[in-house]
Structure 1
Amino acid sequence: MMMRRHLLLCLAACGCVGAHAACLDDAAVADFAEKYIARTPAAAPEGLSDADAACSRAKLHALLVSRLGPVIGYKAGLTNAAVQKRFNTDKPVWGRLYEGMVLANGATVDAAFGARPLFEADMLVRVRSDAINTARTPQEVLDAIDQVIPFLELPDLMVQTPQRLDGAGLAAINVAARLGVAGQPIGVPASPADAHAMLDALRDMKIRVTDDKGTALAEGRGSDLLGHPLQAVVWLAGALASEGVKLKPGDLISLGSFSPLLPPRSGSRITATYEGLPGAVSVDVNFK
């Protein structure tokens, strides 16, 4: 009840109440937020338009930021055509990353870290310059970041019927953001020639996901994300701008899935390697 009252106050402040006819109602968003914190499955949002999803995400943010802490970055989701197909859509979606979501390399995490826990190979970049908000090419993105970071994302689909989630429904629930494990950052080279080589390496790298026995679980390539992984940032900056949000120096950006979504198994160690990307060190997560 207290959370619901807090939601109404937050929504009144941000002007979200009644913004869209099919926006998730306040009770549904409050219920989702409560279940997110409790790590229990919630009802899946269905039949939302993109505008409905944006309104619902704003309502959810009004609650989550008060429980999880400040926003530390953003997540571009469904930037891989294969994952778009899984969610019956043809375009990306976005969500927010909150304080405490990004863990150190080698972290040990409960295999039941969420209501519907999964893992995937991903990558983070860190914003260096406000110029990223007007970037239109991967080269312009590279000029506006200072780090690329191997990343095993640990999303949580959270709902009772994940198979019924589509792209808009996923956007409404903050693109399933829960946790992730970040590897060793790789600095963006100052030399134009070296920076160009990094740009090519990011496109051409092969990402492999293996377990503690060395068994291959999945693989992908940099080009699987919109033709180049930094193209995800171009898309994200435009999507945020359309809602009056700007990226700022220090923000982390999750680029999307290089691998299928896979379920964690207690007692296993998962490793992602980024072959062909100079300076990349593998990133690991241990599930207990």
Structure 2
Amino acid sequence: MTDVARVAGLLRSAYESGTPVPPLRGDLLPVGDVDAAYAVQQAQVADWLAAGRRRVGAKIGLTSPAVQQAFGVYQPDFGVLFADMAVPDGGEVDLGGLIQPRVEAEVAFVLGADLPFERVTVADVIRATDHILPAVEIVDSRIAGWDISIVDTVADNASSGLFVLGNQPRRLSDVDLRVAGMVLEQAGEPVSVGAGAACLGNPVHAVAWLAQTLAAAGSPLAAGDVVLSGALGPMVSVTPGAAYEARISGLGSVRVCFGTREEA
């Protein structure tokens, strides 16, 4: 049986020390035991909430074939977003609070209605979405060398770090997300390209998957939640001192800068 408290404690120590831990799969988490991994995630979430952090939504991971192939993981996962993870558009991130960050461009959904159904349709997601925004997710891993399997990343709150939202909302009905092109640039040069179809065929499909998964678990998405729907292309390792700008057709752009390690 998995010692949930022990594994959660190891990850908490990695957060506090900035030193990653070896892969969890094997002795600490049975290979492929996703339920045990989510139990570890939930234990950490409970601790964070008790410490005063505010939940503001959820993130979906492992939706892009490029990202799945990179880690040998072929199913999506999810984690929890907190208010203190949000970075303003154009803001600078202190690398001292991260271990081995990477960036990826996504579409963020902001819900205007609850999604409590265990069977969620695309129409349900469309009706429930108040607006969408371009987003950059700054993913991070407490697992050394990003040597992750599905159980490693799930336990680690889906390799969450920070997130940046654009500030020009769009109506979902005004954008065909399946064919929306994405380019992520560093110093004006493309470092990742993709499209909405890379995210489970359409980011709306990813949100529908998450909504019914969370409803079945008894913690459904609610009005006001922010949902990061998943990467539209390959993730990119962060270069200290660099700035990254994601452009998504029909949605506009969002930008984030990073400090240097010396400054951190």
Tell me if structure 2 keeps the 8 A contact 1:272–1:282.
yes
Q: What residue number does 2:36 align with? A: 52
2:15 to 22, 25, 36: 36
Q: 1:85 aligns with which of 46, 69, 73?
A: 69
Q: Which residue of 1 aligns with 2:183?
A: 208
- Aligned mates of 1:231, 1:53 — CA distance in 2: 24
Residues 139-288 of structure 1 mapped to structure 2, 5 A cutoff: 139-163=123-147, 165-188=148-171, 195=173, 197-198=174-175, 201-212=176-187, 214-275=188-249, 277=250, 280-288=251-259
Q: Is the 8 A contact 1:132 1:140 kept in 2?
A: no
Count of residues in correspondence between the two structures: 254
- Give the unaligned 5+ runs of structure 1: 1-20, 190-194
The answer to whether the 8 A contact 2:109-2:228 is kept is yes
Residue 155 of structure 1 deviates from its aligned partner by 0.9
Structure 2 SS opposite 1:219? strand
Cα separation, 2, equivalents of 1:132 and 1:25: 28
Measure how far apart 1:133 and its partner are.
3.9
TM-score scaled by structure 1? 0.82
For the structure 1 residues 273 and 135, does the alpha-carbon distance in structure 2 shift closer, same or farther, using more than 3 Å as the test? Answer: farther
CA RMSD of aligned residues (A): 1.9
User: 4+ residue stretches of structure 1 with deviation over 6 A?
Assistant: none
Pick 1 or 2: higher relative contact order, CA cutoff 8 A, min separation 6: 2
Residue 226 of structure 1, CA deviation:
0.9
Any idea what the Cα deviations from partners look like across 1:131-179, whole Å, max 9, x if unmatched? 464563333312111010111110111212422x111221111011110
TM-score (norm 2): 0.89
Could you tell me which residue of structure 2 aligns to residue 15 of structure 1?
none
Contact 2:118 2:215 in 1 (8 A): no
Report the alpha carbon displacement of residue 185 of structure 1 after superposing the two structures with TM: 3.8
Residue identity matched to 1:44 = P
Whether the aligned pair in 2 keeps the contact of 1:75 and 1:256 (CA below 8 Å) is yes
Residue identity opposite 2:34 in structure 1 = D
Secondary structure in 1 matching 2:236: coil
Q: Secondary structure at the match of 1:169?
A: helix
Deviation at 1:39, TM superposition (A): 2.7
Give unmatched runs, 5+ long, in structure 2: 26-30, 260-264
Note the alpha carbon deviations across 1:218-257, whole angstroms, 9 max, x for none. 1000011111111111110121122211111101101111
Contact 2:4 2:36 in 1 (8 A): no
Taking a change above 3 Å as real, the CA distance of residues 228 and 177 of structure 1, as seen in their structure-2 partners, is same
Return the index of the structure with the highest Cα Rg. 1
Q: Residue 241 and residue 90 in structure 1: after superposition, are their counterparts in 2 closer, same or farther (change >3 A)?
A: same
Post-superposition Cα deviations, 1:258-282, rounded to whole Å, max 9, x if no partner, equal 121211112211100012x1xx221
1:105 aligns with 89
Kindly provide the amino acid, as one letter, of the partner of residue 85 in structure 1. Answer: Q
Letter in 2 for 1:282: S
Give me the whole-angstrom Cα distance separating, in 2, the residues matched to 1:88 and 1:245. Answer: 28
